[in-house]
Amino acid sequence: MLFSIGIAFMIILVAGFWTYQGLYSSAIFFFECVIATLIAFGFYEPLNGVWVGSLGAGIGKPLAFAVLFLIPLAGMKAATDHYFRENLRFNVAVDRAVAGIFGLLSSLVLVGTALVGVQMLPIGSAVFGFERLAVSPEGEVSKKNILFKPDNFAAGLASMASAGSMSGSANLATAQPDMLMNLYGARSCVQTEDTHDVPADCIKINSYWETRQIDAVTAKRETIGLSRSFETKEVSGGKLLVFDIILGPTAGVKDKADIYFRLPQFRLIGPPPETKRSAQAILACGSSDVYVNKTHNWIQVQDGQARRLVRFDPMTKFVLNNNSTKEVVEQGKGYRICVAFEVPDDFEPWYLAYKNGGRCEINKAKMFKQTPPKSGAIAMGNTGPGRSLGESSAAKPKPKPGQEAAGTVGKPTGGATQIANATDVYVTSKIPVPVSRSESVVSGALKGGKLDDCHFAVELEEDIEKSLEVKEFLVPDGKKLVILDADKNQPLSMYGRALNFSSNVLAQVTLTTDKGETYFAQGFYAVGKTSGKTWVEIQYHPEPDVPERCVAKPKKITKDVLQSTPKEVRRFGYIFVVDPGVKITTFKSGGTGGGQAVTIEVP
């Protein structure tokens, strides 16, 4: 919005300046701007051909466009200032009014042409914060324009001139139909890995068909993944054209098998020139469900998932490679997916464009199918693959020796109100750090050779005699122990907060199941070093009257001790007593957020 307001302010300033220069000067400058604009639009591609080999199309095209606009404009302005020094006199009111009109038109052409040049740059879909497409909270996509639409004005002026008296063998409307949307689609890239410019033959159409149904997806973040639900919706006031395509290896990153894209990079151009109607560029609205996301632990497309036709947010990023999307690999050819476009009922497709350069002509007689082919993507409703993303798709971690089960932890939440972040989670009755029964506080807490209700801090012996070694907790009948190792996340939320808890703080340290059941921490263990000695502190209350108030303050291992202990030596974790058969999904240690995702199925 700020960028759009800034452009509007610039247009007003330029118009105001030429208003006070007078009708004669502002009229001359307007025609100079128009001539320079037409030169730039008409010849930037041939000039780019001179240096594209060394500069590349990403920089070569906008550079050629800028050179052909600025140099002729500067030359004409210098020539008219030199040879047309006298002014014409008009009535003051007429002079100011008409000069203002020419000034406004000049500013629209001048600023608009500059904006078109900027939009040719490989800078991503947003131009200084301005995004051509807007998505409402309901998921509806709408087109946005800059205030006063200067770029539309300049492109429309050039297109109109090239199709009229200045038309040649190929006019601008044919070479660059719906230029601004085409430019937006071409640069709508995944910037860190994507490539903007691709060869024309990188895309191939196998077939296409019509449908009026597509699945709308609703995603909810859960644990370390997503829960997805689908609803089949009818297209109102038009239809969907779905194209079964193959993206060849040249459509992706050079010397890599990966292809990164966003759906707006696919554009359907139509109608063809023989219809004598203005062509438009329609951006793709949906595709095969080839969505993967490492952050959500969904690293591979499920079997059959790509058969689902889904409407995606235009900002969604996709990657095709031989690992994540092996289901759509066409050996020796590339990747086979479906791309959908929402069009009017009378729309006639001309060609399919991809990124900057990819193009495939559409032959209806050979390509159109009355029904989707067997491999074509279709709406499936809230059934079929791809409904649940996250932990269900990942292989379960293998337990280590002494563990009954192991789990995974999600991304740390951080923040000053978060006491600690989980680093590992597992089910075991083994004590993380074995202790010696030679210590009276340890032997006094034993029951049947196992550690029962206790709270002690003792010096850690490196080599404990086997006969004296205490390795296990006493677990209540019908229960399981879950131990969650924790670590520092950010300043202000370090071990100091993790260990300096009183009963009211520890009440916030919980595990939550997928059914909403909550388990409070019933103990902790900590290892720290002070005065040259390593200490271990264990607190364990397996059967307290009030679980959320059972843990007391530390005796020995304070926050300062842990912070001064080298990371490879210090250890800390929480102990939970849970019911067998539950599925743990969330760890929370203070704060107001949703907690940190953990996933473990307790045997």
pLDDT in tens, 516-537: 899 999 999 998 887 778 889 9
Residue that wins the pLDDT comparison between 431 and 533: 431
494 pLDDT exceeds 50? no
Mean pLDDT value of segment 154-159: 90
Spatial distance between the Cα atoms of 263 and 317, rounded to a whole number of angstroms: 8
Give me the pLDDT at residue 458, please: 92
Q: pTM of the full predicted structure?
A: 0.62
Residue 160 counted as domain residue: no
pLDDT bucket at 92, cuts 50 / 70 / 90: confident
Domain count, the chain: 3
Spatial distance between the Cα atoms of 205 and 162, rounded to a whole number of angstroms: 31
Pair (389, 443) in one structural domain: no
Which residues make Cβ contacts (< 8 Å) with residue 387, sequence separation at least 6? 227, 228, 229, 230
Pair (425, 514) in one structural domain: yes
| Cα torsion through 525, 527, 528, 533, rounded to 10 | 130
- Bridge-based pairing state of the strands 280-283 and 266-270: antiparallel
Pair (466, 577) in one structural domain: yes
Give me the pLDDT at residue 125, please: 84
Residue 156 counted as domain residue: no
Pair (336, 210) in one structural domain: yes
Mean pLDDT value of segment 379-388: 76
Mean pLDDT value of segment 288-296: 84
Q: Calculate the CA 574 to chain-centre distance.
A: 34
C-beta of residue 310 within 8 angstroms of C-beta of residue 299? no
Give me the pLDDT at residue 197, please: 86
Pair (16, 126) in one structural domain: yes
Spatial distance between the Cα atoms of 67 and 59, rounded to a whole number of angstroms: 12
Mean pLDDT value of segment 120-147: 81
Spatial distance between the Cα atoms of 141 and 285, rounded to a whole number of angstroms: 9
Listing DSSP states for 219-270 in one string gives EEEETTEEEEEEEEEEPSSSEEEEEEEEE-GGGSSTTSS-EEE-GGGEEEEE
Pair (564, 436) in one structural domain: yes
Last-in-domain residue among 88, 113, 133: 133
Domain range for 506 = 405-601
77 pLDDT exceeds 80? yes
Sign (positive/negative) of CA torsion 387, 389, 395, 397? negative
Give me the pLDDT at residue 497, please: 39
Average per-residue pLDDT in the chain? 86
Pair (288, 314) in one structural domain: yes
pLDDT bucket at 259, cuts 50 / 70 / 90: very high
Spatial distance between the Cα atoms of 45 and 54, rounded to a whole number of angstroms: 15
Give me the pLDDT at residue 476, please: 96
Give me the pLDDT at residue 570, please: 80
C-beta of residue 520 within 8 angstroms of C-beta of residue 548? yes
Pair (355, 488) in one structural domain: no
Listing DSSP states for 154-180 in one string gives HHHHHHHHHHTTT--SS-HHHHSTTHH
532 backbone φψ class: left, alpha, beta (φ>0; ψ -120 to 50): left
Give me the pLDDT at residue 428, please: 96
- Residue 207: which of 363, 15, 32 has the closest Cα? 363
Last-in-domain residue among 354, 373, 393: 393
Q: Which two tokens stand for residue 545?
A: 């009257």
322-366 per-position pLDDT tens digit: 889 999 999 889 999 999 999 999 999 999 999 989 999 999 999
Residue 525 counted as domain residue: yes
Pair (386, 517) in one structural domain: no
- In DSSP terms, 446 is beta-bridged to 451
417 pLDDT exceeds 50? no
Residue 553 counted as domain residue: yes
Residue 379 counted as domain residue: yes
97 pLDDT exceeds 90? yes
Pair (421, 374) in one structural domain: no
Pair (448, 373) in one structural domain: no
Residue that wins the pLDDT comparison between 494 and 4: 4
Give me the pLDDT at residue 87, please: 72
Instruction: Tell me the Cα Rg of the chain.
Output: 33
Last-in-domain residue among 354, 371, 393: 393
Pair (414, 288) in one structural domain: no
Residue 171 counted as domain residue: no
Give me the percent of the chain exceeding a pLDDT of 70: 88
Mean pLDDT value of segment 540-555: 88
193-228 per-position pLDDT tens digit: 678 889 999 999 999 999 999 999 987 765 455 678
Residue 164 counted as domain residue: no
Residue 145 counted as domain residue: no
